[in-house]
Structure 1
Amino acid sequence: MSEAAVLNFFPQDRILEQITNEFVAFLTNHDPEMAGIRLPPIAKTRDSSNGDFTVILKGACARRKIDVVKYSNELTEALNAFLKENPKSYLRDSNAMNGYVNLFVNRSSIFEDTIKTVLGLGEKYGSSDKMAGQKVIIEHTSSNPNGPLHIGNLRNVMLGAHLSKLFEAVGYEVKQHFFVNDLGAQIGLTALGYSRIYSKVEPKLKIDQWIGMIYACMNTLSELQILGHTMGELLDVYENGSILAKSNLFPLREGESDPSEKKLNPRRDYLKTFDSLYERQPDLCVVLLREFLTLPSIKKASAELNLQYERNEASAVKIFRAMVVNCLSGVQQTLDTYNVRHDSFDFESELGWEGSNDRVMERLKASPYFVPETQKNEKGVPEGGHILTANFIRDAKLPTGKKGYQKNFPNFYVLRPDGSTLYTFRDVVYSLKKCAQADHVFNIIASEQNLPQEKVALTMALLDPKAPRKLYHLSYELVKLSEDGKEVKMSGRRGRYVLADDLYVELRDAVIFYMKQKMEKTQQENPDKAPKFTEEELLATGGEVATASMKYALLSTPCRHEIKFDIQKVANPDEVSGPFLLYNAVRFKSLFRKFDAGVASGEYPPLPPLEEIDFSLLNEQSEWNLLLEFILPFPNLIAQIGCPGFPAAPQLPEFATNKLCDFCMVLVNKFSSYFKHVYVLSPDKEKFPAMFARIYFYKTLQTVLDNALDILTMKPPQRM
C-alpha cells in the first residue's frame, strides 16, 4: 500500500463501497432499468440474524410503479443463484423481508482483509492526510509565570496536548505554543518580592510553588498597606511575637463591617490570609516585612519596576527573566509528569521590545473606530484609548443576536489614560503574529474569557476585513475540586489553591490504594493469579495510571460542561474511570504474555504467519460486532472529530474531545464481556487454529485501542 493510501485508509467506507458495487453491478445487470436510479446507502441491519447489511428498494420501486415485496423476493432469488456460481464475492447470501433486501457477507474475507491491513499499518491506523499541507498553532497552558499549575490549568493542558495529537492524526502540521504573560501588576508584585528575597531565603518548596508563595505574600502585604497597616506593626507581631500587637490588629476599626456578618471585612480577611501564609512560610514572610519596612507603597514600587521591564531596562530585565524562567522550569516539571512539551515559549514583553505593539497601535489609531486615550467622557475624565466595536459590527453588517455578537457590544479598551498598553491589546498583537505563521490558530482559554476573545477577533477583522478567519477560541468550562461532597475554594492571590503536583500525588496514592485492595482480594480468592509488585513497581505503575486517569477525567467531559473532580471516583477502577479503561487495555498484554510463556514452555506452538490463518473460525457474533462497531469505523471517527468544520464568526468549532473517550470506554466494556465468554488460550490441539485467529483479532483490537489512547495522550502500563 502506498504512503498516500496508508494515510487515506478508511476500511469501513471501502468495504461498504465494495458491497455496494457488487450489489449494484448485479442489480443493473439483472434489471437494466434500475441503472441510473440512485439507491439509499447500504446500512448495517438492526438484527444480524436477518442479515449483515440491508438495501432499501422502496423508493426505486415506487419510482417505477412496481410492487416492492414481489420485486425484492424475485431479486434475492436471482442474486442467491448468482452468488453460488461466484463464491469469491464479498456477498454470500441474501433474503427479502417486507420490501428490504438483506445481504449476508463473507465475514471471513472481511476479517482477513481488515486484520491484515490494520496490523500492517500499526500505529498509523486511524490517521489520514485530510488536512495535509495546513499549519496549526495551538496555544495552551499559558499560566501566569508567578506560580504553579493548579487543577484548573490542567484541563487547559490536557485539551491542548490532546488536540495537538488529534490534529496531527488528520494531517495538520502542528505547533504547541505557550504565551508567557510576563507583564502586568501581579508579575510586577512578584518580581519586586523575588528581587528582595531570592538571595536571603533558601527555597523550601518546588521553585514554582515558592514563587507562588512570594506572590501571595506580596499581594497580601500590598493590600494591607493600602488598608492602613504598616510593615512595622506586622513585623512586631510576626518577628517579635507580640501578643498585644496581634490583638490590636484584629479589632474592628471605625467604619468597618460587623464581624458577625458571614463575610469578613477586607482588612480582617487579608490579616487572616497573611496569618495562614506565615504558618506555612514564616521565614519568607518575615524577610519580606523587613525588606519593605520603609517602603511607602509596595503597589507603586512594583508598578515602577514593571514599567522599567516594559521599557527593556537591563536591571529590571535581569530580575523579571530570572523569576519567570525559574517559575517556568518548575511548571515544566509538572508538565513532564504528563509528557507535555511546547514547541515555543513566546514572551509578552518581547512584543513591545521588537516593535510589534507600536506597529499595530499605529494601524489601530488610523481606524475611524479608534477613540484616543486623551478624549474625556461626559464627566471630564479620560477613559483610555478604545475601539468602538459596536460601530464596527454595525457597519460591517456582522450578525448579532442568538448566533451572532451580543447587541450593544462593549468598547474594547487598548490603552490606559497614561498611554500604556493593556494586556488585551497585546493579545491582539500576539494573535496577529500567530496567524501570520499558520492557517489556523486555536487559543485554548476558559469560557470566562469568551467576550475578551471575541474582542480580539473583532479587532483583527477591523484591521484587515478581507483577511480569512484564522483565529478560534476553544472555550472550556472550569474544574471544581470536590472533597467529601464539598467544593474546595481556590485563590492564587491568597495562596489558596489545589496544586497540580499535590493532586497528582493524591491521585497516585488513591490509585495504589485500589491496586493493593484488588491484589489482596485476588490473593484470597485465587493466589496463583494474584499480581505481585515491589514497592518501586507499585509506585511507578501507580504514577502511570494516575496521569492517564487525570487525562481521562479532564477529557471525557464535553469542553463546555463544568467538571466536578472527585479523586476517589477518578481513581476507582470500578467507576467509569481511567483505571477501569487501562485495566481492560492491560488485558491484551496479559494474554499475549501468557501465550508467549506457553510457547516458551512448549504448551503452544509459535504463532503462524497471517497467511496461514483460517479467519472463518472467528465465528462469534460478538467478534463481528467488535469489528463493525470499533475496528472498521475508527479512522472515520478520528477524521470526524479532528475536522469538525469551521463556522462563520462568532460561532466556534466544536471539538468533541469526549467522543474518543466514549469510544474507548464502550470498546473496553464490550471487549470485557467478550473476554469473559470466549476463551482464547487452550492446550487442546484441535482448538489451536481458532486460538491463532483470535490472537490476531486481539492484536487488531489492541492496535485500535492503543492508537485511540495515544491520541488521548494516554499509555497503558505493562500490567496492573
Structure 2
Amino acid sequence: MNVFADIRAMVVTALEAMMSEGALPAGLSLANVTVEPPRDAAHGDMATNAAMVLAKPAGQKPRDIADALAARLVADARIDAAEVAGPGFLNLRLAPSVWASVIPAVLEAGAAFGSAPAGSGQKINVEYVSANPTGPLHVGHTRGAVFGDALAGLLEFVGNEVTREYYINDGGAQVDVLARSVYLRYLEAHGQEVAFPDGTYPGDYLIPVGQALKDKVGDAFVDMGEQGWLAEVREFATEAMMQLIRDDLAALGVEMDVFYSEKSLYGTGRIEGAIAALDGKGLIYEGRLEPPKGKLPEDWEAREQTLFRSTAHGDDVDRPVKKSDGAWTYFAPDIAYHYDKVERGFDALIDVFGADHGGYVKRMQAAVSALSDGRVPLDIKLTQLVKLYKNGEPFKMSKRAGTFVTLRDVIDEVGADVTRFTMLTRKNDAPLDFDFAKATEQSKDNPVFYVQYAHARIASVMRKAQGDISDAQLAAADLSALSHEAELGLLRKAAEWPRLVESAATAHEPHRVAFYLYDLASAFHALQHLGKMEPELRFLREDAPEVTEARLALIRSVQLVIAAGLGILGVTPANEM
C-alpha cells in the first residue's frame, strides 16, 4: 500500500475527467504531476504541482486549474480539504481513516511492507569494493562495501534481481609486487633478515602468508631465481589475500555472488572480442591523441595508438585501448569485463568506485553505451573519503597494515552494525567524518543508537503488553482512538515508507533510508516522551484496553518499518539495549 501513489492516482483520474469534459485540453501529459509531502507540514498532508505543470501546455492560469481540481478532489471521502496556495500549488488534507488504513497494511505485510515481488523489476549487476588483492581492506573500501551492499539490498527490496559482484584486479603489475613481498616474508620465515624495497608491501599481514608458503613448499624457493617461483607465488599470494578480503567482508556482513578475475580475460580472446565488437561498430581506429591538459608541446610525444572513439558516446576525448608497443592499456580489460556483463543479460549496471576514479566515469559509460547500443545504462557511484576520529582526535594508523586503518580495525572498535549505519549517514559523494566515540554514544546525536533504541523500546512495550497479541489481532484493532497529533504524525511518517524506498531505489541513494529511519525514530521517541508527561498518552492503558490495542498496532507497525529499513542497510534490529 502506497498512500502517496493512491492519492496521485486520484489526482490523475480527476485531471483526466477534466480533459474529457473540456475543462482542460485533451491529450495533456500527466507524467510530471507529483503528489508528495509539503515542505511545511502545517500546509497539509500532501501537495500536488498539477496546476503548475499543466498551466502552460493548457494555456490557462495555474490557480484556475488548481481551483477546479480542488473542487473535484474534496468530493472524495478520502480528502478532508484541498487548499490552493501561492501561484497554484494545491495542498491536501487527508481524512484520518486514510492514514489509519496504513496500519493493517503494515501488520499484514510485516517487514515486507513497501517491497515489490522478487523479479518484478530489472536484472541489475552491482559491482563494488573490487580492491586490489594486495592487502586487507581499508576504511575507504569499507565505505564502498557498505554503500554497495546497501544499494544492492535497496534494489532487491523494490523487486529487482540483483547480482553482487567483486572484480579481482589480479591482472596487473601490482600482483607481481605482492608476490615479491610475500617471497620476502617467506625468506624471513626461513630465518633470513630481509629489507623491503620502496614499492613493496611491508605490512605485518603478510607474515602468516610467508609462513604458509614455507609450510607448503618448504625451502624449495629459497635459492631459486625469481623466474622459477614468481608465477606460483603470485597465485598463492593472490588467493591468500582474496581469502583475507572475503573474511573481512563477511565480518561486515557482505556476501558477494560473483568474484570475477581480471586475469581470466587475458589469453582467452575476451579482450580481443570486446575490441572487435567496437571495431564492428566503426569505433576503433589508429590515431594520435592531443597532449593532456597541462602538458607543454615539447614534453609530449604523440604516438600512433589504437583508439576507441568514445566521444561518439559522450566522452570528452577518445581513449587508447592499445599502446604503441602493442600491449593493451588498462582500459582494454575493463571494456572486456563490462562487455561480459552486457552479454550476461543485465538490464542495468552499477559500479561503485572510490573518489580517485572520477576520471574513469565517462570513458566507462561510453564503452557500455557502445557495446550495448545504448540499451544498458551504467551508473557509476563515487564514494568520497572517510576521516576517522576518536574523541575528536585523528585515529592512529594500523600497526597490522603498516600504512592505513583497516576494515577490521573499524569493526573491532564499534562493531559491524554501527559501522554500516554510520557509513550511510552521508550521501556517498560527500566526505564523511567517522568519530568512534560519537558512533557508540547513547544519545539522540548518534543516529544508529537512536534508531536501534526505538526498535528496542517498542519490543519492550510489546513484551509488557498483557497477553500474547498477534499482528493479526492488532490489524483488526479499532484505530479511531488514534487522534492525538503526535500519533497521527508518527502514522504519517510510517506511511511515507513505500514512497521513500521507491524514490531512494530510483536515485540509487540508500542514505535516504538511514535519514528516514532517524526521522521515524524521532517521531516515535517524541510520542513516547509525551506519554511520560501525559498519562493518557501512554502506550499501555489498563483503564482503556481499546486505546492500548490501537497504540500497540501503531507502534508495532513502526517497528516493522524500522526493521525493514535496517534490513536494507544490513543492520540487525535490536530487541534489547
TM-score w.r.t. structure 1 length? 0.63
Report the 3-state secondary structure (helix = DSSP H, G, I; strand = E; otherwise coil) of the residue aligned with 2:560: helix
CA contact (8 A) 2:104 2:476 kept: no
Alignment check: 8 A CA contact 1:188 1:305 kept? no
Q: What amino acid sits opposite 1:347 in the alignment?
A: S
Tell me if structure 2 keeps the 8 A contact 1:383–1:416: no
Opposite residue 555 of structure 1, the aligned amino acid is L
The within-5 A match list for 1:510-521 is none
In 2, distance between residues paired with 1:331 and 1:169? Answer: 26
1:10 Cα shift? Answer: 2.0
- Aligned match of 2:432: 563
- CA drift at 1:18: 5.1
Q: Determine whether 1:618 maps to 2:482.
A: yes
- The answer on 1:640 being equivalent to 2:503 is yes
Give 1:566 shift. Answer: 1.8
Paired amino acid for 2:342: C
Instruction: Give the direction of change, closer, same or farther, for the CA distance of 1:421–1:122 in structure 2 (3 Å limit).
Output: same
Q: Return the letter of the residue paired with 2:450.
A: F
Shift of the 434–126 alpha-carbon distance from structure 1 to 2, 3 Å rule, reads same
- 1:120 paired residue among 87, 108, 115: 108
- Which amino acid in 2 is paired with 1:11? V
Match of 2:448 in 1: 578
Q: C-alpha distance in 2, partners of 1:55/1:497?
A: 50
Equivalent position of 1:14 in the other structure: 6
- 3-state SS of 2:458 partner: helix
CA displacement at 1:436 relative to structure 2: 1.4
**Whole-Å separation in 1 of the counterparts to 2:353 and 2:463:** 44
Confirm or deny that 1:474 pairs with 2:381.
yes
Instruction: Tell me by how many angstroms 1:503 deviates.
Output: 1.9
What is the deviation of 1:413? 5.2
> Which residue number corresponds to residue 347 of structure 1?
261
Native 8 Å contact 1:440 1:471 kept in 2: yes
- The alpha-carbon deviation at position 112 of structure 1 amounts to 4.0
Superposition pairs for residues 331-346 of structure 1, below 5 Å?
A: 331-346=245-260
1:366-515 matches, cutoff 5 A:
369-370=285-286, 386-388=305-307, 392=309, 396=312, 405=316, 409=317, 411-412=319-320, 414-415=322-323, 417=325, 419-437=326-344, 438-459=346-367, 464=371, 466-483=373-390, 485=392, 487=394, 495-507=402-414
1:561 aligned counterpart, secondary structure: coil
Distance 1:364 1:569, change over 3 A: same
Give the letter aligned to residue 684 of structure 1.
E
Instruction: Note the C-alpha offset of 1:676.
Output: 0.8
**Displacement of 1:16 after TM fit?**
5.5
From the superposition, tell whether residues 324 and 688 of structure 1 become closer, same or farther in structure 2 (CA, over 3 Å).
Answer: same
1:212 paired residue number: none
The 5-angstrom pairing of residues 117-266 of structure 1 reads 117-128=105-116, 132=120, 134-194=122-182, 201=189, 221-223=196-198
Counterparts in 2 of 1:614 and 1:181: CA distance versus 1, 3 Å: same
2:239 is the counterpart of 1:325: yes
Aligned-partner residue type, residue 437 of structure 2? Q
Q: Quote the Cα distance in structure 1 between the aligned partners of 2:73 and 2:198.
A: 85
Residue identity in the other structure for 2:480: S
**Partners in 2 of 1:41 and 1:178 — Cα distance?**
38
The amino acid across from 2:549 in the alignment is F
- Corresponding residue number in structure 1 for 2:562: 705
Higher alpha-carbon Rg: 1
Query: Does the 8 Å CA contact 1:150/1:498 hold for their aligned counterparts?
Result: yes
1:494-544: per-residue Cα shift (whole Å, max 9, x none)? Answer: 83111211221122xxxxxxxxxxxxxxxxxxxxxxxxxxxxxxxxxxxxx
Matched, 1:684 2:542: yes
Q: Is residue 154–residue 510 contact of structure 2 (8 Å, CA) maintained in 1?
A: no
Alignment correspondent of 2:293: none
Contact 2:369 2:377 in 1 (8 A): no
Give the alignment's Cα RMSD to 1 decimal: 4.9
Number of residue-to-residue matches in the alignment: 538
- Deviation, structure 1 residue 444: 0.9
Residues 543-554 of structure 1 correspond to what in structure 2 (within 5 A)? 546-554=415-423
The answer to whether the 8 Å contact 1:42/1:55 transfers is yes
Distance 1:187 1:119, change over 3 A: same
Matched residues in 2 for 1:413 and 1:154: separation?
31
**Residue 668 (structure 1) aligned with residue 521 (structure 2):** yes
Separation in 2 of the partners of 1:468 and 1:22?
Answer: 36
Unaligned runs of 5+ in 2: 289-296, 532-536
Aligned equivalents of 2:458 and 2:347: distance in 1? 40
Q: Match for 2:552 among 695, 699, 702?
A: 695
Q: In 2, are the aligned partners of 1:385 and 1:413 still within 8 Å (CA)? A: no
Partner of 2:101, secondary structure, is helix
Q: Alignment partner of 2:512: what SS?
A: helix
C-alpha separation between the residues in 1 aligned to 2:120 and 2:366? 28
* Residue number in structure 2 paired with 1:511: none
Residues 341 and 386 of structure 1, relative CA distance in 2, 3 Å threshold = farther
- Point out the more displaced range, 124-133 or 675-684: 124-133
Taking structure 1 as reference, are residues 385 and 439 closer, same or farther at Cα in structure 2, changes over 3 Å only?
Answer: farther
Q: What is the CA distance between 1:386 and its match in structure 2?
A: 3.8
Q: Secondary structure at the match of 1:497?
A: coil
Instruction: Quote the Cα distance in structure 2 between the aligned partners of 1:57 and 1:141.
Output: 43
CA distance in 1, matches of 2:171, 2:10: 60
The letter of the residue matching 1:164 is A
Identical residues among aligned pairs (%): 20
8 A Cα contact 2:128 2:144, kept in partner: yes
Secondary structure at 1:599 match in 2? coil
In structure 1, distance between residues paired with 2:40 and 2:151: 37
Are the counterparts in 1 of residues 136 and 244 from structure 2 also a CA contact under 8 Å? yes
Superposition TM-score, scaled by structure 2 size? 0.76
Give the C-alpha shift of residue 186 in structure 1. 2.5
Any idea what SS the aligned residue of 2:514 has? Answer: helix
Secondary structure in 2 matching 1:156: helix
Question: Equivalents in 2 of 1:358, 1:55: separation in Å?
Answer: 53
Is the alpha carbon distance of 1:100 and 1:663 closer, same or farther for their aligned partners in structure 2, counting shifts above 3 Å?
closer
Give SS of 2:136's match. coil
Structure 1 residues 139 and 484, CA gap change in structure 2 (3 angstroms): same
User: Deviations 1:207-253 (Å, cap 9, x if unpaired)?
Assistant: xxxxxxxxxx99x62339xxxxxxxxxxxxxxxxxxxxxxxxxxxxx
In the other structure, the counterpart of 2:270 is 356
Alignment check: 8 A CA contact 2:107 2:474 kept:
no
Distance 2:338 2:115 in 1: 29
CA distance in 1, matches of 2:401, 2:324: 27
Alignment partners' CA distance in 1, 2:522 and 2:285: 58
Matched, 1:599 2:452: no
- For 1:54 and 1:449, how far apart are their aligned partners in 2? 40
**Residue 351 of structure 1 contacts residue 426 of structure 1 at CA under 8 Å; is this kept in 2?**
yes
**Cα offset, 1:707, TM superposition:** 1.1
Deviation larger for 32-41 or 426-435:
32-41
Report the alpha carbon displacement of residue 172 of structure 1 after superposing the two structures with TM.
1.6
Q: Distance in 1 between matches of 2:400 and 2:540?
A: 63
Which structure 2 residues correspond to residues 20-39 of structure 1 after superposition, within 5 A? none
The 3-state SS of whatever aligns with 1:556 is: coil
Instruction: Decide whether aligned partners of structure 1 residues 656 and 611 sit closer, same or farther in structure 2, where only a CA change above 3 A counts.
Output: closer
